[in-house]
Amino acid sequence: MKSNFTLQPMISEKSYALANAENKYTFLINGKATKVDVRNEIEKQYKVKVVSVNMITKPGKIKRDWTTYRYYRKEDGRKAIVKLKKGDKINEFLNV
């Protein structure tokens, strides 16, 4: 079955430190994914055991269209912070 969303590893200093210190990995998500969907997709893609999933919605920035002078808001972004079972790692995440 094909999933209707994509997972993209989020690489930043904070996410890299979180991965090393607490075994939590951060992914950018687009689409209407639930925590269960994210958990199943990560376990299937990376062959690891997920302990918990936290979701964060980042509101889109307000932009201005200079030809019509109207303001609009960009699409909201979502990210998932996934905690893995002790001993599991996602090597592809750290090599990106």
Confidence (pLDDT) at 95: 64
> Considering the entire predicted model, what is its pTM?
0.82
The maximal CA–CA distance of the chain, rounded, in angstroms, is 55
DSSP class of residue 92 equals H
Q: Domains in the chain, start-ordered, CATH in brackets?
A: 6-95 (3.30.70.330)
Confidence (pLDDT) at 32: 84
pLDDT tens-digit profile, the chain (96 residues): 466 778 899 989 999 999 999 999 999 998 788 999 999 999 999 999 999 999 999 999 999 999 999 999 999 989 999 999 999 998 876 665
Collect contacts of 19-23 with beta carbons under 8 A, ≥24 apart.
Answer: 19/90, 19/93, 19/94, 22/83, 23/83, 23/84, 23/86, 23/88, 23/89
